[in-house]
Amino acid sequence: MLNLILFGPPGAGKGTQAQRIIEKYGLIQLSTGDMLRSQIAQKTELGLKAQEIMAKGELVSDEIVVGMIKSIVHGDKSAKGYIFDGFPRTVKQAEALDNLLSEINEEISQLILLEVNDQELIARLLNRGKDSGRADDQDVSIIENRIKVFKEQTTPVMEHYKAKNKAVSVKGVGSLDEISELLYAVLDKL
């Protein structure tokens, strides 16, 4: 299996590039943000719990997101591989993911960081907020908090995989095609 973590701050282009990668490589995309928004739309108990935290740009508990990922990774035996988008966001989540994958004799093949500067991230998210309907994309102070949370709580995940020689970064600024080509070059070597 090819198990990829598409890593980067909010607005780095993880979701967009994940879509292209799943088409080309036949992987299954697992976006914890999308899963949480679907729980909110269905007004489930989990969704109600997550909603307030997400609106502030803070992180939902590790237990909640790990539980969501676990049910999919264990439930799908025919997958060619997974592309994790927006997960793991803490070292605890990364450790839980490593354990989940080892239970099915798998491991993370590669983490790829999409590098984008803060000004570009803020501009992209505000622009996306015009039609995404996401409240967390429409307020600069919330966007800034999400970037801060990424730097403080999520960047250690990169160190976790660097220590295993599994982390690389690519330039996340340029045309969508240029960025995809950089990602494909990494994936084709795996």
Residues 6+ apart with CB under 8 A from 73: 30, 82, 100, 101, 104
Binding map of ligand AMP across residues 124-143, x = CB under 6 A, - = no contact: ------------x-------
Q: Rounded CA gap, 176 and 34, in Å?
A: 21
Q: Rounded CA gap, 86 and 42, in Å?
A: 21
Cβ distance to ligand AMP smaller for residue 27 or 60: 60
Count of positions on this chain that bind ligand AMP (CB under 6 A):
17
| Given 5, 30, 36, 83, the residue binding ligand AMP (CB under 6 A) | 36
Residue 9 binding ligand AMP, by CB under 6 A: no
CB of 188 to ligand AMP, least distance (A): 26
Residues 6+ apart with CB under 8 A from 190: 2, 109, 110
Per CB under 6 A, which region of 85-93, 96-104, 158-166, 180-188 contacts ligand AMP? 85-93
| Given 33, 160, 172, 183, the residue binding ligand AMP (CB under 6 A) | 33
The closest alpha carbon to 86, from 16, 188, 177, 170, belongs to 16
Beta-carbon count within 10 A of 130 CB:
9
Cβ distance to ligand AMP smaller for residue 79 or 97: 97
Q: Rounded CA gap, 47 and 52, in Å?
A: 9
Looking at beta carbons, which residue is closest to ligand AMP? 33
Cβ distance to ligand AMP smaller for residue 58 or 76: 58
- First CA to last CA distance, the chain: 10
Q: Rounded CA gap, 188 and 56, in Å?
A: 38
Question: Which residues between 40 and 79 bind ligand AMP (CB under 6 A)?
Answer: 53-54, 57-60, 65
CB of 60 to ligand AMP, least distance (A): 4
The residues binding ligand AMP (CB under 6 A) are 10, 32-33, 36, 53-54, 57-60, 65, 86-87, 89, 93, 136, 146
